[in-house]
Structure 1
């Protein structure tokens, strides 16, 4: 048995990151080469560019641009759920090797202004996705409702409960969960992923669903709570990190879900000025270069706090969460990228990611702190 708290070195298969934002142009040139640095050889790429990726040809062209930057990564591609998407477009996408479709509720996060307002409108699309065995990736939040943004201080309602009359960034995920259940009931064979789960309520809802519904968990949600992002723009993301109880539920899900949840970092790079130099802070935490190390650090802290047991952090759990469970759900088979060796505390997170010849700069999560180093074997 691996003694996780004292082990100094871990060898694992290359990881599958089931949720990444690689952007385009100079930003893609900066961040795509960091995929393998984080121990990952296969990624599921988000389509929320400007303009969004809504056609098969756009998607294939985007994949070629990414492959030109970093050819040693397998890119699984997705379309952006948009009113222009039709069942025939889904059929064409399947033939072209596109893996799934990502749904963003309108306006809730970065580049989501073209997102979904009414899910029933897309029932014919979902039916065709079910027939084609494609994956529906859900950003599981509803838009805030400023018209009802006041909750009386005398109310006894839990502000995290979807029954609350106000929708804010704190309860936007729980408020979405009835939609997930409704979609699963309507399309029981449709493979659905509730992305970047951030609440115990989301975890419980996924667990109630059948085997065609799973969830992803990010590296940063395993360590962040409200207090962290409230004072630090580089910890601010959507969905926002919630309570200590929610964070601890995520840690328990990593070691105890038996494959119902797996890694999707939602690594989301933004130019330095977008995170600190403008009136509004861009939502996104950049974790790509240190993805596996961040998760291992969070698990270690969870063991030390008594949230999870050391004996629960087995090599098989790490292999499953980082790679096997996600590959199985996506039907990828075993990875072919070899193994990686991680060494505890041997890497310092860069203060800023930059590259000669590129104007863009990105600040990584936990800048200046130590984490696990990583080498390919």
Structure 2
């Protein structure tokens, strides 16, 4: 199958996109961002559970789904639970019966709303064993918490200081251990940001896959170091890591697929409270960002033009994620993306709401979206 020539192609028609990792928040923020799902060409999403308080019970999960459906009924919401010490194997059985699709693990304190997260994975082995039996997906935020600045730095590789730059590589032995202990448990390493993570996922069996965000396909360290609206967890890394992600998209073979990790923060809180909140908002233009990143990758010689085929785009943007989750395209829809027909807003706002969000690549031109 011939690849797309981004120098000449004007439109690309695809099936409705599946975004396998979104943060839709709740309350006014959900009212603001949930409509941007379809605006971005997506009709099916896997929803993160790190609300405040986190979604730890099936009852909370189903109620949250109904609130999202009330805002935008033309999106299929796949729901997840937050891995928490209050969970039991019976929770997993109940979740399976109720149509919940997975459980998200956050290392304690590593990112937004993760203070109730995991300290010791082995204590959750009975939960993982039941998830394996029930065929639920384990979603891993693949980082370890950073070493406090006052802690001594040792020469031991196993005790080396952890920063935002090596927090993901430091987690990869945990991925390997979990896969070895539960070989039939479907595991997704979320939002890969390093070449090491790509290699680690490839080294695992078919029950392990990974998501790649739209923003990690273009960002590097220098971008977020100067712009809080490009700061996320895991942080973008080196040019070599970014290029490894681009190559993973076009050589995925089903192991890598889109999970935007689109994470909105109110503009007043993004760099407020003496800290920068982790999260990049990409939802309304995410597919355009992916197409733009691939076009630049071809231009720079990182990926070969003939590798960016319709099969690859439909795979990365929907087919491969749906296959891993064992779900179908929900609405039989197609969407047309047209070069240069959209301009990213300076801010996302809606009348009557008291929150606003600054999107990724604000003010720039990207691909427009039209549903058919």
TM over 0.5: yes
Equivalent residue for 2:303, pick from 295, 305, 308: 308
Equivalent residue for 1:80, pick from 76, 79, 82: 82
CA–CA distance in structure 1, aligned partners of residues 206 and 22 of structure 2: 23
CA–CA distance in structure 2, aligned partners of residues 230 and 254 of structure 1: 25
Match of 1:125 in 2: 127
1:55 aligns with 2:50: no
Q: 1:4: how far off?
A: 3.1
Matches within 5 A, 1:1-377: 1=2, 2-146=4-148, 165-377=160-372
1:5/1:310 contact within 8 Å kept: no
Q: Any idea what SS the aligned residue of 1:327 has? A: helix
Compared CA separation, residues 57 and 371, structure 1 to 2 (3 A): same
Residues 75-108 of structure 1 show CA distances to partners (whole Å, capped at 9, x for unaligned) of 0000000000110000000000000000000000
Residues 1-40 of structure 1 show CA distances to partners (whole Å, capped at 9, x for unaligned) of 2323320110011000000000000000000000001110
Compared CA separation, residues 252 and 149, structure 1 to 2 (3 A): farther
Q: Any idea what SS the aligned residue of 1:194 has? A: strand
1:354/1:360 contact within 8 Å kept: yes
TM-score when scaled to structure 2? Answer: 0.97
CA–CA distance in structure 1, aligned partners of residues 50 and 180 of structure 2: 27
Q: 1:333: how far off?
A: 2.7
2:41/2:371 contact within 8 Å kept: yes
CA–CA distance in structure 2, aligned partners of residues 314 and 149 of structure 1: 49
CA–CA distance in structure 2, aligned partners of residues 275 and 84 of structure 1: 31
Compared CA separation, residues 83 and 255, structure 1 to 2 (3 A): same
CA–CA distance in structure 2, aligned partners of residues 299 and 163 of structure 1: 36
CA–CA distance in structure 1, aligned partners of residues 324 and 24 of structure 2: 22
Residues 290-318 of structure 1 show CA distances to partners (whole Å, capped at 9, x for unaligned) of 01000000000101111001111001100
CA–CA distance in structure 1, aligned partners of residues 319 and 205 of structure 2: 19
Residues 308-344 of structure 1 show CA distances to partners (whole Å, capped at 9, x for unaligned) of 0111100110000000000000001344341110111
Residues 25-58 of structure 1 show CA distances to partners (whole Å, capped at 9, x for unaligned) of 0000000000001110000000000000000000
The number of residues matched between the two structures is 370
Q: Any idea what SS the aligned residue of 2:337 has? A: strand
Give the RMSD, CA atoms, in angstroms.
1.4
TM-score when scaled to structure 1? Answer: 0.96
1:184/1:209 contact within 8 Å kept: yes
Residues 170-194 of structure 1 show CA distances to partners (whole Å, capped at 9, x for unaligned) of 1000000000000000000000000
Q: Any idea what SS the aligned residue of 2:25 has? A: coil
Q: Any idea what SS the aligned residue of 2:177 has? A: helix
CA–CA distance in structure 1, aligned partners of residues 351 and 190 of structure 2: 34
Unaligned 5+ segments in structure 2 are none
Q: Any idea what SS the aligned residue of 2:81 has? A: strand
CA–CA distance in structure 1, aligned partners of residues 247 and 151 of structure 2: 32
